[in-house]
Each structure stands twice: as structure tokens, then as C-alpha cells.
Amino acid sequence: MTRPQSPHDIVTFMKKVVAAEARIPDTSIDEDKSFHQFGLDSISSIYLLEKVENEYNVTISPLYFWDYPTLRLLASQIFDENFRQP
């Protein structure tokens, strides 16, 4: 379990997961593109969210994948909800 210092840390972690899923290098992943554009769907989303949940010991609503449909938006939401200092 790790504690992210910023949303960027979460983006970096998710990039690795998405890259492995989409079989592309993580450097080529644009965090403002929608998950759809990488070929992620309602099934692989479950896998992605599970990985993030386990990495940071958080719980993520399954709908967040659609409500925050890019790496940047999702990472910010997860960070704000769980790790932002008041």
C-alpha cells in the first residue's frame, strides 16, 4: 500500500495498468484522452479500479470510470476524495 503525494502519482500508476492492458508503452498514453480511446470497457474498467483500490487501499465507485472518463479526471477525483489535506 502506498500513499500518493499528488494526483500525478495516481496518474503514473494508472498509466502502467492501462499500458499493459492496451499493449502500448506508457509514455504514449495521454492522460486527457478518454479510457475508451485506449480500448478500455466496462469489464477492463473493473480490473483497473481494482488495481488502484489495492495500490492505495481505497474504495472506488464503479461508476467513476464513466463519471471521470480520463486518467487525469479520475486521478484527481480519487486524490481529492481520499488524500487531499484539508
Partner 1 sequence: MNLWAPLDQENIRNPFPMYATLRREAPVYKSQTGEWIISRYADVKTILKDPRFRSGNKLEWINRGITYFKSKDQDLSAIASAITSFLLLINPPEHTRIRKLITSVWNDREVDQTILENVDSLLNIKSEDNTFDIVEDFARPLPNMTICKIMGISMEHYQHLTTLSNNLVKILNLYNSFKDLVRIDSAARDFISFFRELLDIKKQRPDNDLISKLIVANASEREPLSDDALISVFIFLFIAGQETTIGLVSTSLLTLSKYPSQLNTLAGNPELMPNAIDELLRYDGPVHLLGRIASENIELGGHCIKQNDTVTLCLASANRDSRHFENADILDITRQPNRHLAFGSGIHFCLGDWLAKRQGALAIQRFLEVYPTYSIVDHTLQWNDNLSIRTLKHLSCRV
Residues contributing to the site for partner 1 (CB under 8 A)? 42-44, 46-47, 49-50, 53, 60-63, 66-67, 69
Q: Which is nearer to partner 1, 49 or 78 (CB)?
A: 49
**CA–CA distances in Å: residue 42 to residues 36, 45, 47:** 10, 5, 9
In the complex, the smallest distance separating the C-beta of residue 5 from partner 1, rounded to whole angstroms, is 26
Least Å distance between CB 73 and partner 1? Answer: 12
Rounded-to-integer distance, Cα 45 and Cα 34, Å: 12
Q: Is 64 exposed, middle or buried (0-12, 13-18, 19+ CB in 10 A)?
A: middle
Q: Pick the closer one to partner 1 by CB: 30 or 50.
A: 50
